[in-house]
Amino acid sequence: VKREIGHVSEERAVAECVRGVVEGDRRLLAKAITLVESMRREDAPLREELLARLLPRTGCAVRVGITGTPGVGKSTFIEALGLFLVGRGERVSVLAVDPSSPVSGGSILGDKTRMEQLAQHPEAFIRPSPSGGSLGGVANRTREALLVCEAAGFGVALVETVGIGQSEIVVSSMVDSFCVLLQPGAGDALQGMKKGVLELADVLAVNKADGEQKAAAERARDEYARALGLFSPGAAVWTPRVLAVSAREKVGIDAFWETLLAHREALLGSGELENKRRRQARAWMWSLIEQGLQESFREHREVKSRIAELERAVEEQRLTPAAAAQTLLELFRK
């Protein structure tokens, strides 16, 4: 009987969240995101139910990823861009994928102070990164939060990540357009730039093109543009573009958005947007399967009882990694 009651109230909780999200109730939107971010196993059926009900309302947002090294001005830029967009009547959500641990300084968007105006705007919604867990886990929860925001009618979904480690790859796999913010350091601009990031970028913006740094930022822009020209594959539907902007002075924000829309047009016109989203959805499914398998593997009773021993044997070179893996996999498959 108790289970039944629990079940009924859970049903009601999901229905309430769905209604709240659709009607633009911010408290319920936050609650829905908390639910999709929950790592508790007992929340899984509710989470699935909520996402399944919201799914038909998703897919309509312009999904944009923004990355850049610490201090490049991501928060300032997103605030400027967000305010520009709400000024044009858009509704904007901001999510983050933050792979850093609470120990190393916490969430990127912990510094909401720098997005003070946007955070208070009724047409904007800012949500810090879910904390804890692997990058893959954090990213999956952000993907799902993005769907909830879309269902809530946010026409622009911004996803911020700090450009360290692999997080920019993960974010680029959940957005339509991926943007990299760059420091104005001229001359050596390219040295600090990972080629991988350049390859992911659809739009690059050299920030801080103001005051004393204006000329340096413009030089850096030209250098990046030349470098991109060198290894862009001519036949692509889109050639990445480089701009100089000032997030602080709010200069170039409109040009940035125009460029982003041009990218979107190119994707739409060639059918590539749909292809991209299909590929992303499929890859997401596989990443969930891989994570699920890993979890089951580590929790498997017989596997668990022998992991430590076999790891040690491998470390001490008494056993090859291949043999140890084989033994564990056989135990798992049995």
Ligand X SMILES: Nc1nc2c(ncn2[C@@H]2O[C@H](COP(=O)(O)OP(=O)(O)OP(=O)(O)O)[C@@H](O)[C@H]2O)c(=O)[nH]1
Query: Which residue is closest to Mg ion by CB?
Result: 75
20: amino acid identity, one letter: G
Judged by CB under 6 A, does residue 74 bind ligand X? Answer: yes
- Give how far Cα 162 sits from Cα of 17, 197, 242, Å: 31, 12, 19
Query: Which residue is closest to ligand X by CB?
Result: 73
Residues 103-122 that bind ligand X (CB under 6 A): 108, 114
Judged by CB under 6 A, does residue 65 bind ligand X? Answer: no
Nearer of residues 73 and 252 to Mg ion, judged by Cβ: 73
156: amino acid identity, one letter: V
Nearer of residues 46 and 204 to ligand X, judged by Cβ: 204
> Would you tell me which residues interact with Mg ion (CB under 5 A)?
74-75, 108
Provide the token pair at 12.
């009601």
**Backbone phi and psi for residue 316, each to the nearest 5 degrees, phi listed first:** -90, 10
Binding residues for ligand X, rule CB under 6 A, total 18
SS3 percent helix, strand, coil of the chain, rounded to 5, is: 60, 10, 25
* Among the listed residues 56, 71, 122, 234, the single contact to ligand X using CB under 6 A: 71
Judged by CB under 6 A, does residue 49 bind ligand X? Answer: no
Neighbours of 11 (CB within 10 A): 12
246 binds, among ligand X, Mg ion, none (CB under 5 to 8 A by kind): ligand X
Please choose, out of 64-72, 122-130, 226-234, 317-325, the segment that lies near ligand X by the rule CB under 6 A.
64-72
Judged by CB under 6 A, does residue 179 bind ligand X? Answer: no
162 binds, among Mg ion, ligand X, none (CB under 5 to 8 A by kind): ligand X
Q: For residues 195 and 277, give the distance between their C-alpha atoms in angstroms, rounded to a whole number.
A: 24
Do 157 and 146 contact (CB within 8 A), yes or no? Answer: yes
72 binds, among ligand X, Mg ion, none (CB under 5 to 8 A by kind): ligand X
Give least dist CB 218 to ligand X, A: 13
Give least dist CB 99 to ligand X, A: 12
Q: For residues 50 and 191, give the distance between their C-alpha atoms in angstroms, rounded to a whole number.
A: 46
Give least dist CB 263 to ligand X, A: 22
What is the DSSP track for 6-47?
HHHHHHHHHHHHHHHHHHT-HHHHHHHHHHHH---GGGHHHH
Nearer of residues 67 and 75 to Mg ion, judged by Cβ: 75
Nearer of residues 211 and 229 to ligand X, judged by Cβ: 211
What is the DSSP track for 249-308?
TTBSHHHHHHHHHHHHHHHHHHTHHHHHHHHHHHHHHHHHHHHHHHHHHHH-HHHHHHHH
Site string for ligand X, 147-176 (x = CB under 6 A): ---------------x--------------
Please choose, out of 9-17, 66-74, 197-205, 227-235, the segment that lies near ligand X by the rule CB under 6 A.
66-74
Q: For residues 206 and 77, give the distance between their C-alpha atoms in angstroms, rounded to a whole number.
A: 11
Q: In the chain, what is the straight-line distance between the N-terminal and C-terminal CA atoms, in Å?
A: 37
Please choose, out of 92-100, 221-229, 246-254, 297-305, the segment that lies near ligand X by the rule CB under 6 A.
246-254
45 binds, among ligand X, Mg ion, none (CB under 5 to 8 A by kind): none
Q: Is the dihedral of CA 47, 48, 53, 58 positive or negative?
A: positive
Give least dist CB 71 to Mg ion, A: 8
Residues that bind ligand X (CB under 6 A): 68, 70-76, 108, 114, 162, 207-208, 210-211, 246-248
